[in-house]
Structure 1
Amino acid sequence: MESFEHYLDQYAELAIRVGLNVQKDQTVVITTPIACADFVRKLAQKAYDAGAKDVVVDWDDDVVKALRLKNAPEDTLRTYPAWRAAGMEEMAKEGAAFLSIYAPNSDLLKDIDPARVAMSSKAAATARAGYLNYTRSNKVNWLMVSYPTPEWSAKVFPNLSESERINQLWEQIFKLTRADQADPVAAWKEHIGTLTAKQNLLNDKKFKQLHFQAPGTDLYIELAQKHQWVAAGSESEKGIFFVPNIPTEEVFTMPARNGTNGTVRSTLPLSYQGSLIDGFSLTFKDGRVVEAKAEVGQEVLDNMLNMDEGARYLGEVALVPYDSPISQSGLIYYNTLFDENASCHVALGNSYPFTIEGGTAMNEEELASNGYNKSLIHVDFMIGSPEMAIDGITADGTRQPLFRNGNWA
């Protein structure tokens, strides 16, 4: 690929300077599969160049993870190392920045009992709840990016050789993250401005409800009373502006916990913790999922919904036009970071406190009274399509077209 090293350097620079926005004397924590080691080293150098005082790497390995889930006693799967969870929370408390490299392998756990995977997932989520509160509330600056691995690239480009498919996936990543542009930082400033304009437009409208209609979907989502639309950039507790997802094309907010009714059908596969869920539909009544059917991954879907009571309620609704660059690539990425930015989507599980006015300063009781949903999970799934129509509905029942034929009306 022409100028590969140049583009890779710009991608790493974007991650550290724009996405994470590392500050002088800040600790940077990188959570990553071992397959991404070369990229981690480049990120570490960029972080030190930006003034970081330390770079801590939390390595993971898919094969070892699968071996544990297959062979470890159930009692072990119901636990999570306390030192690991406490360490992440302690670093968050001290103001560290957190970068996660996401390279999914949706076939990794296909031959492992989904009940065992659910046990382990619940134990990890419960133990890490303190740390996750820091990122979900934007108390710290954090970022998620992706890196091509042989397993992930094989899912996206199954008919190419390993080297060809990895090159193709890099080409898409560079393009969709704007790392291949002459001045990626300037391109991102312009992009953030475009998304912020949509955010401001929606906040001015103060819709009470959204109505989604598409094949298999007829869904009403009531918005939280003090909801605020958010896009691209956020500000940490210490006033650091950061962009938590690269790429990003969404504008999103908080649904009212008990205010979703109707049926919604997924439009893209969902890669969830090493398994695939596809062709699924959910029916909601008073906010809660009362029926769930999947063509692929029914047991995985059921286990996800049974993680805790909040897993059956929505925590996020996001608008993304069908003509977004990721959608126009014509590819399914089997990676939520990319696929969610190709399509309107909703998320089951935990809400983000910063998507209601004053939410980050509220206690749990105040959050709940304003429509917040609490859960161990936050799982985005895609519902947008070229047939999608969305109306915004005001408190007096007035309807306004927001999306037609999958794009902004």
Structure 2
Amino acid sequence: MADQKMQEKYAELALRTGVNLQKGQALVVNSSIEGADFTRIVVKKAYELGAKNVHVNWADDELTLLKYENAPDEVLTTIPQWHVDQYLSFAEDGAALLSIRSTNPDLLKDIDAGRVAKASKAGAEAMKEFRNYTMNDRIPWSIISIPTGDWAKKIFPDKSTEDAKESLWEQIFRIVRVDKDDPVAAWDEHNATLRKAREFLNKREFKKLIFKAPGTDIEFELPAGHVWKGGSAKTVSGFDFNPNMPTEEVFTMPHKYGVNGTVTSTKPLNYGGNVIDNFSLTFKDGKVVDYNAEQGHDTLKHLLDTDEGAKRLGELALVPHESPISQSGLIFYNTLFDENASCHIALGKAYPTNIEGGSDMSEEELDKHGVNDSLTHVDFMIGSAELDIDGVTPDGKTEAVFRKGSWALDFNS
């Protein structure tokens, strides 16, 4: 069992720095029953910080699997209105949302990928209005992870379940800076570093980024008025929060019609309880026109077929190869961690906040500015120690951004 005091520090960090919980604010927590002990610590801390209400939505991998094995399609694709209304009522009240994600990466590996895709699409359609609250920073939200037995064994297969969980706790504590004397202060410093990087990139106003590495040769046009984000975000009411813990990225959006070339994955992608690995995508005018995968080909196909926007990109993120997650040498089979080990891109919906004035634009206005829309948003990793990135400036000059997986820019210049 992981150290109780460390878990308490982690819970407090998630509440103070993650969602920045305010006195009198409600909190919604999504968690698994396997993480009940840690979740109770979070709830207790939340009330100590002044939460007026803490509502927990529980999930259970075993029950999820049983449903996929036995329920008809009509059940999997019908989302009760009360479920949607629950989230909307909390959002309208300005509640904070904390998701504790720890799903078994192989949970649905034996389930027909088409059934999983149908269920995922139905859920995304039902929650579209609520997703606008999070993707436009109208409420504070944060995602963290804690070890579960199946997940830990996937990472440390040669250890017993308990030893694997203990090893994963140690890695998580280190990566999210809970091992520091003052994790909140450590995150303040980390956010300041990411802020400096994104401010530098925003001043550069690159028209295009060119990625080259083994299996990757691709150009990303950046829309006029694009905005680099990273680290802490700010709600429309002015409160800072950290959407992802950990996070090592600065990110923006590529133009939905301006991506050309081929990109190859550098880490496995855990999507919908299945692993997609060793895959590549070829883009023309922003759209995937060819793809292949050594593992999870059908799952990738169904992801791309979610809707028209799933074949285009909504995010482009830069992460140096020397990030703490990358240096761990581990593959986490969890996008929250793996995406912060490596430069990555996302199929699907773009964050409207990644373009000037985007949060106030209609869907038609966003489309005119090159902002992709979709029911899905799925990050996958393309960075490595062999990745070079060049940026094309507004006056047409080419400038080194990454060399051999690391920053080539001087943020102090």
Counterparts of 1:156-195 in structure 2, within 5 Å, are 156-195=155-194
Q: Deviations over 1:41-62 (max 9, x none)?
A: 1111111111110000111111
Q: Deviations over 1:136-171 (max 9, x none)?
A: 111100000001000100111011111111110000
Q: Deviations over 1:120-148 (max 9, x none)?
A: 11111110111111111111000000010
Shift of 1:72: 1.0
CA distance in 1, matches of 2:317, 2:130: 24
Moved more, 84-93 or 332-341: 84-93
Structure 1 runs of 4+ off > 2 angstroms? Answer: none
Counterparts of 1:239-388 in structure 2, within 5 Å, are 239-388=238-387
CA distance in 2, matches of 1:214, 1:40: 42
Shift of 1:399: 0.5
* Residue type of the alignment partner of 2:146: Y
Moved more, 146-155 or 366-375: 366-375
Shift of 1:104: 2.5
* Residue type of the alignment partner of 1:404: R
Contact 1:104–1:271 (CA under 8 A) maintained in structure 2:
no
Tell me what 2:411 maps to.
Answer: none
Tell whether 2:34 aligns with 1:72.
no
Tell me what 1:138 maps to.
Answer: 137
Tell me what 2:400 maps to.
Answer: 401
Q: For 1:257, what is the secondary structure of its paired residue?
A: coil
Contact 1:104–1:334 (CA under 8 A) maintained in structure 2:
no
CA distance in 2, matches of 1:123, 1:114: 14
Gaps of 5+ in 2: 409-413
Tell whether 2:51 aligns with 1:44.
no
Shift of 1:313: 0.5
Tell whether 2:104 aligns with 1:115.
no
Shift of 1:370: 1.1
CA distance in 1, matches of 2:242, 2:385: 28
Tell me what 2:201 maps to.
Answer: 202
Q: For 1:224, what is the secondary structure of its paired residue?
A: coil
Tell me what 2:26 maps to.
Answer: 27
CA distance in 1, matches of 2:102, 2:223: 33
CA distance in 1, matches of 2:163, 2:153: 10
CA distance in 2, matches of 1:22, 1:314: 32
Contact 2:61–2:103 (CA under 8 A) maintained in structure 1:
no
* Residue type of the alignment partner of 1:220: E
Q: Deviations over 1:215-254 (max 9, x none)?
A: 0000100112110100101111211110111111000001
Normalised to the residue count of structure 1, the TM-score between the two structures is 0.98
CA distance in 1, matches of 2:372, 2:90: 26
Contact 1:88–1:131 (CA under 8 A) maintained in structure 2:
yes
Q: Deviations over 1:329-371 (max 9, x none)?
A: 1100000000000000000000001111111111111111111
Q: How much is the aligned-residue C-alpha RMSD, in angstroms? A: 1.0
* Residue type of the alignment partner of 1:50: L
Shift of 1:77: 2.0
Contact 1:220–1:262 (CA under 8 A) maintained in structure 2:
yes
CA distance in 2, matches of 1:93, 1:259: 36
Gaps of 5+ in 1: none
Tell me what 2:52 maps to.
Answer: 53
CA distance in 1, matches of 2:32, 2:392: 44
Q: For 2:256, what is the secondary structure of its paired residue?
A: strand
Q: For 1:256, what is the secondary structure of its paired residue?
A: coil
CA distance in 1, matches of 2:191, 2:75: 44
CA distance in 2, matches of 1:88, 1:399: 46
Shift of 1:394: 1.6
CA distance in 1, matches of 2:41, 2:27: 13
Q: Deviations over 1:5-43 (max 9, x none)?
A: 221111111000111100111110001111111111111
Shift of 1:396: 3.0
Shift of 1:109: 0.6
Tell me what 2:105 maps to.
Answer: 106
* Residue type of the alignment partner of 1:345: H
CA distance in 1, matches of 2:407, 2:219: 18
Aligned residues: 408
Tell me what 2:125 maps to.
Answer: 126
Tell whether 2:230 aligns with 1:228.
no
Tell whether 2:85 aligns with 1:96.
no
CA distance in 1, matches of 2:77, 2:245: 33
CA distance in 2, matches of 1:243, 1:84: 25
CA distance in 2, matches of 1:124, 1:61: 17
Tell me what 1:6 maps to.
Answer: 5
CA distance in 2, matches of 1:228, 1:377: 21
Shift of 1:374: 0.7
CA distance in 2, matches of 1:71, 1:149: 24
